[in-house]
Homo-oligomer: A and B are copies of this chain.
Amino acid sequence: MSGNTFGKLFSITTCGESHGGAVGVIVDGCPPALELSEQDIQPDLDRRKPGQSSITTPRSEQDTIKILSGVFDGKTTGTPILLLAFNKDVKSEDYHHLKDVFRPSHADFTYRAKYGLRDWRGSGRASARETLARVAAGAIAKKLLREKHSVEILSFVEQVSNLRADVELSSLSLDAIESNIVRCPDHAMAPKMIKLIEEVRDEGDSVGGVICGLIRNVPAGLGEPVFDKISADLGKAMLSINAVKGFEIGSGFAGTLLKGSEHNDPFIPDGQRKIRTSSNRAGGVLGGITTGEDIVFRVAFKPVATIGKEQSTVSAEGTPVKLKASGRHDPCVLPRAVPIVDAMSALVVTDHLLRAAARDLPRGI
């Protein structure tokens, strides 16, 4: 109810602040007998961690994950799985000067308005460090989807500022995404994006962009009509990520420019007595339920709020002050956000798979 739980059947409850004791997550509802170790989770955290390349924050955080419950003899037992990463690189004093200042476009002011007090060390709970818990939990969901259902989840950086990649989704691979530090599989565009981010970094500024999400091999029939459309749940999942300002599925905002006769996806017979659509402007979802085609969506990230340039703001008392960040921020959050988008995709799809299983019961009998 306080918004720290996500998912209904495969559900995660996260905790932890930037500079508290630990960031953690309880994964509840994971089916038993899934082989699981910390090695299944760490690689996704490494894709998210700070300091991984020249275009991310130089902060060094190891983000080592520990499994503290729910796994026995190398397998999940069906009981809740506690994943924990202890906080290490704690320099709270770096933030002491921000104790009574509201940084522009950060959550300092709104947390204060909401709670009456706030943990001012490194943004506290509003820090993107919270997403570590999502990525750790998402790694379990991804493994379950991959091994038990052959579902594949891939996201990549499609746009940085006004630089837009041209990517053929049908041939997209994780290798292509991971082949450069900006996680853009368009090999011509990636170096331009990296150069732009470096320039912006050197100016003490930041840029935003768009991540494209792709989910392959989802069975038709997932999603609940009306409020829990899988598209609505994906939208909520992505809009809950720090810095996200927009979400669209399939044709999205561009689709509003088409006529119905141009936008509709014709159904066609497919070889194996299956039915497909010859185009996929729907983005894999009709009426909130999956069609079996690829789920395709886009997520808009605003430029990082922390910048090195001097800015005007006010103190908690309402006095105007000048502010200049000390420096260890990401000039562009998108490369590190790719595994976060992946994780949220995996959590949504896994949850809806379990929900579908519950409904199927009497049909199977």
Within 8 A of B (CB), among A260-311: 260-270, 273-275, 277, 281-283, 285-292, 300-307, 309, 311
**Out of B247, B274, B288, which one reaches A247, CB within 8 Å?**
B247
Beyond A79-B225, A255-B302, is A358–B314 a contact (Cβ under 8 Å)? Answer: no
Q: For residue A292, which residue of chain B has the nearest CB?
A: B113
Is A97 positioned at the interface, with any CB of B under 8 Å from its CB?
A: no
Contact A290 B69 (CB under 8 A): no
Contact B246 A253 (CB under 8 A): yes
Chain B residues with Cβ under 8 A from A300's Cβ? 248, 252-253, 255-256
Chain B residues with Cβ under 8 A from A84's Cβ? 68, 84
Is A251 positioned at the interface, with any CB of B under 8 Å from its CB?
A: yes
Is A70 positioned at the interface, with any CB of B under 8 Å from its CB?
A: yes
Residues 197-240 of chain A: 1 if any B CB is under 8 Å from the residue's CB, otherwise 0? 00010000111111000000000111111111101110111011
Is A355 positioned at the interface, with any CB of B under 8 Å from its CB?
A: yes
Chain B residues with Cβ under 8 A from A36's Cβ? none
Is A9 positioned at the interface, with any CB of B under 8 Å from its CB?
A: yes
Is A181 positioned at the interface, with any CB of B under 8 Å from its CB?
A: no
Chain B residues with Cβ under 8 A from A79's Cβ? 2, 4, 15, 17, 119, 124-125, 225
Contact B275 A109 (CB under 8 A): yes
Q: For residue A71, which residue of chain B has the nearest CB?
A: B20
How long is the Cα–Cα vector from A111 to B72 in the complex, in angstroms?
Answer: 14
Contact A232 B227 (CB under 8 A): no
**Out of B33, B277, B292, which one reaches A117, CB within 8 Å?**
B33
Contact A2 B16 (CB under 8 A): no
Interface SS of chain A? mixed
Is A56 positioned at the interface, with any CB of B under 8 Å from its CB?
A: no
From A43-51, A98-106, A166-174, A184-192, give the one contacting chain B. Answer: A98-106
Beyond A209-B256, A286-B110, A358-B9, is A226–B21 a contact (Cβ under 8 Å)? Answer: no
Contact B362 A318 (CB under 8 A): no
Contact B245 A245 (CB under 8 A): no
Is A58 positioned at the interface, with any CB of B under 8 Å from its CB?
A: no
A42 CB to closest chain B CB (Å) equals: 16
How long is the Cα–Cα vector from A361 to B350 in the complex, in angstroms?
Answer: 11
Chain B residues with Cβ under 8 A from A313's Cβ? 266-267
Contact A288 B5 (CB under 8 A): no
Q: For residue A11, which residue of chain B has the nearest CB?
A: B1
Beyond A22-B69, A362-B148, is A289–B256 a contact (Cβ under 8 Å)? Answer: no
Is A63 positioned at the interface, with any CB of B under 8 Å from its CB?
A: no
Contact B256 A253 (CB under 8 A): no
Contact A318 B269 (CB under 8 A): yes
Q: For residue A329, which residue of chain B has the nearest CB?
A: B260
Contact B32 A26 (CB under 8 A): no
Contact A80 B4 (CB under 8 A): yes
How long is the Cα–Cα vector from A116 to B282 in the complex, in angstroms?
Answer: 21
Chain B residues with Cβ under 8 A from A91's Cβ? none
- What are 23 A-B contacts with C-beta separation under 8 Å? A2-B79, A2-B359, A13-B13, A17-B70, A79-B119, A105-B265, A105-B282, A107-B287, A110-B285, A114-B221, A149-B365, A159-B256, A210-B256, A246-B249, A248-B253, A253-B253, A255-B300, A258-B303, A261-B311, A266-B311, A267-B312, A268-B312, A358-B358
